[in-house]
A and B are shown apart, each in its own frame.
Chain A
Amino acid sequence: MSKFKKNYGARITAGVFTSHVPAIGAAIDNAKTTEPYWQPLFKGYDFSKKWFKENKPDVIFLVYNDHATAFSLDLIPTFAIGTAAEFIPADEGYGARPVPKIIGAPLLASHITQSVIQDDFDLTIVNKMDVDHGLTVPLSLICGQPEKWPCPVIPFAVNVVQYPIPSGKRCFMLGQAIRRAIESYDEPLNVQIWGTGGMSHQLQGPRAGLINKEWDNRFLDQLIKDPISLANVPHIEYIREAGSEGIELVMWLIARGAMADLNGGLPPKVVHRFYHVPASNTAVGHLILENV
């Protein structure tokens, strides 16, 4: 990690937002990305792969949800931060994905934990946790299929499985606390914050297959331009308009809340925006926002 430039500490350089559909992981792992069904989706990430290579961070703070993988009904943390040195890709029932293990950033993660808890957000500290497609699919989409992931990752898991899940507003405020935590770390690290999950989808019941393009695109517009209003949208609107699993989108508000314009900085620059239907049951949305 770079040790030059002693005049500032860690900073968040960009927010990356993407869906994390398991079928996307399966398409990558089984070399199906050029098939007609998948080709338009992966084309939407070509820019992102190139952008990532040119803007490689020292650490990724990756907000995702566990899908009944590391957390069963025995233990349901609302917000869980991974402080371990490494995390193993989980066997979700099909066998583990053939992707590298995740190298953590224990020192930075512990610093964030201390800062955020003292900032009134009660995180659960996790020193042992396998990570599922929620975390590995975004890495595959943006980093491709390397032998090792290009940088350490701090997994940050949000409960969106058992209701009540945290509100959009709570997530948005938490993002702001995470920014304060990262920016008070004295090593000059380039940190990206990723928000994953969504967009509209419903995986259960007779309404399964629900997609709401208009709502999704309004969400993307508002996430860029008016995240403060977006953060006030109640759960029921996500469930009704974007499907029962579309509620994963509250996690995007954590990453958005961590961006500089919420702390007196300039609005972020939109360097990439992509939307595609379908990936299996799901609408896929993707944004890259750079702090300027």
Chain B
Amino acid sequence: MMPLDKPYLDVPGTTIFDADQSRIGYHLNQFCMSLMKAENRLRFKSNEQAYLDEWAMTEEQKKAVLSRDLNLCISLGGNIYFLAKIGATDGKSFQQMAGSMTGMTEEEYKTMMINGGRSIDGNRYIGSK
């Protein structure tokens, strides 16, 4: 059997949500999906740990959600469109969520975007300058 071709593994700072990521992230993402309902958002906010314990997520995934570490969530199979439901529950904008993964402050990230965004130069391949 041939492994599936993943030509995107050499793109820096990027995780492609493929079948393997989707498989490990299934319960994490479905938990996020549950936050589309207002009553679930309330229940989650009132006791996050208890709400997370209702889901067949790994302890590492639960910790990543509790600490709102979106990069860690993504490495554990989360997808940004699903994770965005956590941000929505917290009242965060998509820009705040995206910025939180870059190591920049909210203000630095916002300024970068107003100035035309992150340059593609040096950002095409891992290790490129």
User: Which residues of A approach B to under 8 Å, CB–CB?
Assistant: 22-23, 26, 37, 67-69, 72-74, 90-95, 161-164, 200, 202-215, 234-236, 239-241, 243-245, 277-278, 280-281, 283
Contacts and interface: CB of A to CB of B under 8 A. Distances in A.
A163 B11 CA distance: 15
A240 B113 contact: no
Nearest to A281: B98
A281 B113 contact: yes
A68 B116 contact: no
B66 interface: no
B49 interface: no
B79 A23 contact: no
A208 B98 contact: yes
A281 B11 contact: no
10 contacts: A73-B29, A92-B36, A95-B38, A163-B19, A207-B13, A207-B118, A208-B118, A209-B118, A211-B117, A239-B16
B58 interface: no
B79 A162 contact: yes
Given A93-B89, A161-B17, A208-B98, A72 B120 contact: no
B12 A204 contact: no
B82 interface: yes
Interface residues of B, number: 55
Interface of B: 7-8, 11-19, 22, 26, 29-30, 32-33, 35-38, 41, 70-71, 74, 79-82, 84-85, 87-89, 93-95, 97-99, 101-103, 109, 112-114, 116-120, 123-125
A205 B117 contact: no
A240 B38 contact: no
Contacts of B119: 211
B16 A207 contact: no
A26 B99 CA distance: 18
Nearest to A244: B14
Contact of A72 (B33, B41, B99): B33
A92 B116 contact: no
B114 A207 contact: no
The 6 closest A-B pairs by CB, nearest first: A211-B117, A93-B88, A207-B13, A206-B13, A68-B81, A163-B18
Given A163-B18, A202-B14, A280 B93 contact: yes
B113 A209 contact: yes
Contact of A94 (B88, B109, B112): B88
Nearest to B75: A205
